[in-house]
Structure 1
Amino acid sequence: MLILGLTGSIGMGKSTTGELFAEAGVPVYDADATVHKIYESEAVPAIEAAFPGTTVNGKVDRTRLSAKVVHDAAAMKRLEEIVHPMLRSHHQKFLDDAEGSGAPVAVVDVPLLFETGGEKRVDAVVVVTTSPEIQRQRILARENMTEEKLDAILARQMPDAEKRRRADFVVDTSNGLDPVRAQIRDILGRVAKMPRRRS
């Protein structure tokens, strides 16, 4: 089974692209969705212990947690030390299940793929992109998003141009869904002929 890493900066259309891979019949692991899941289950006690007052009714309150870590690199590192091992075990189970189902290709959707060295654990990388104007417009339309918060998020992410340079495939989401579907069909056709190369 070949593993495609799907990544892209915030607001580029990565989640939608992941959904279109799933629509094409490819198993897709969504790191963000898995974070949501563990924030309502196994991560709750450890996060409350590390960041008191960030959980409500047995769930992590993402807004409260974000307020404690977004401008504090040490706090962010502490949070990652709690969450990453849990994510790794979910990720491995997904890959085992996908392989067991006989899928020729699986997609892992990981926002900080390059930033965490994740490109070494996949066979090819798909980077999702759009213009900076469309990106900002999409993000600022989100609830609770401010220019300041956006700049803090972007500062943690590798620049889009660098991601595109390091990608095996680039998907542009600027022109609606049908061109993205066509790009996905093309990628799946080309991936079928690729050698496995993850370490």
Structure 2
Amino acid sequence: MSRPVIIGLTGSIGMGKSTVAEMFERAGTPVFDADAVVRAMQGPQGELLPAIEAAFPGTTGPGGLDRDLVGRLVFADKDALARLETIVHPAVARKREAFLIEHAGAPIVVFDIPLLFEKGGHKQVDRVVVVSAPADIQRDRVLARPGMTEEKFAHILSLQVPDSEKRAKADHVLDTGTTLAETEAQVRALIALLSAETDQKNSR
């Protein structure tokens, strides 16, 4: 029985991964957005709130998780971060499995996963697609975000596999340092390529 080709979509902060994920969706490719799933599970009445509250008392309320507070707690504390991840990651994995079952008939699906290499997720996908832009463009995009500082940017980069290494490990690299139209053309060309490969494989 055939199953979808699973694309692992990733890229460092500010590289345009979310924009590219939207382009895949517009082209009709189902996208599993790990960040969006986590936000929902940590939002009002979210299923992860009891476990997070038990591990980090005072961090949840009627509005869901206080992301800023938790962010400060785990910012420079690897043990606290690991504790949070043992709550979040298994729950995300269950949602991902349900997503795959729901879209079992699609030729291609996308897993939008920010820390694909860092957490070993690249081993669970068929193709790795990395979005990348020149460092100066990345920097400008990130520092334009509300509340972003040089220190935060440097800390986030320190937790991520360098862009050059991601590109070296990728099966496909999408250039987001160009216009949106040109990036979208790259996305559609990649979908056409992978769809053709899937059709060929399934016809054998």
Specify the TM-score bucket, using the shorter chain as the normaliser: over 0.9
- 2:175 is aligned, of 167, 172, 176, to 172
| TM-score computed with the length of structure 1 as normaliser | 0.94
CA drift at 1:176: 2.0
Separation in 2, partners of 1:65, 1:176: 36
- The equivalent residue for 1:94 is 99
CA drift at 1:58: 4.6
| Contiguous gaps of at least 5 residues in structure 1 | none
Q: CA RMSD in A?
A: 1.4
Deviates more, 1:125-134 or 1:47-56: 47-56
Deviates more, 1:183-192 or 1:160-169: 183-192
1:191 aligns with 2:189: no
Runs of 4+ in 1 over 2 A off after TM superposition: none
Deviates more, 1:43-52 or 1:29-38: 43-52
Aligned length: 194
Letter of the 1:57 counterpart: P
1:136-165 CA distance string (max 9 Å, x none): 111111122111111111111000000000
Separation in 2, partners of 1:15, 1:152: 21
- Tell me, what secondary structure is at the counterpart of 2:103? helix
Letter of the 1:97 counterpart: E
Separation in 2, partners of 1:48, 1:142: 29
CA drift at 1:189: 2.0
- The equivalent residue for 2:65 is 60
- 2:23 is aligned, of 20, 24, 27, to 20
User: Sequence identity of aligned pairs in percent?
Assistant: 51
**Contact conserved, 1:71 with 1:152, CA < 8 A, in 2?**
no
- Tell me, what secondary structure is at the counterpart of 1:115? coil
- The equivalent residue for 1:125 is 128
| Contiguous gaps of at least 5 residues in structure 2 | none
Separation in 1, partners of 2:156, 2:51: 24
Letter of the 1:44 counterpart: L
